Chains A and B, each alone.
Chain A
Amino acid sequence: GAVVSQHPSRVICKSGTSVKIECRSLDFQATTMFWYRQFPKKSLMLMATSNEGSKATYEQGVEKDKFLINHASLTLSTLTVTSAHPEDSSFYICSARDDREHSPLHFGNGTRLTVT
Chain B
Amino acid sequence: GNSVTQMEGPVTLSEEAFLTINCTYTATGYPSLFWYVQYPGEGLQLLLKATKADDKGSNKGFEATYRKETTSFHLEKGSVQVSDSAVYFCALRTGNTGKLIFGQGTTLQVKP
Residues of A whose CB lies within 8 Å of any CB of B are: 4, 6, 32, 34, 36, 41-44, 46, 49, 93, 95, 97, 102-105, 107-110
B45 touches A43 (CB 8 A): no
State which of B42, B89, B97 has its C-beta within 8 Å of the C-beta of A44.
Answer: B89
How far apart sit A41 and B103, CA to CA, in the bound complex (Å)?
11
Number of residues on chain B facing chain A (CB within 8 A): 23
Asked if B43 and A49 make an inter-chain contact with CB atoms under 8 angstroms apart, the answer reads no
Q: Is B104 an interface residue (CB 8 A)?
A: yes
Given contacts A103-B32, A103-B49, A109-B43, 16 further A-B contacts (CB under 8 A): A32-B98, A34-B98, A43-B102, A43-B104, A43-B105, A44-B44, A44-B102, A44-B105, A46-B101, A49-B97, A93-B43, A95-B44, A104-B46, A105-B46, A105-B100, A107-B44
Q: How many A-B residue pairs have CB under 8 A?
A: 54
CB-CB under 8 A from A6, the residues of chain B are 43
Complex Cα–Cα for A46 and B4 (A): 13
For residue A102, which residues in chain B have a CB less than 8 angstroms away from its CB?
96
* B74 contacts the other chain (CB 8 A): no
Choose from A4, A42, A43, A97 the contact partner of B98 (Cβ within 8 Å): A97
Task: Across the interface, name the chain B residue whose C-beta is closest to A97.
Answer: B98
CB closest chain-A residue, reference B100: A105
Asked if A109 and B98 make an inter-chain contact with CB atoms under 8 angstroms apart, the answer reads no
Give the contacting residue for A110; candidates B43, B97, B102; CB below 8 A.
B43
B98 (CB) vs chain A CBs: closest residue? A97
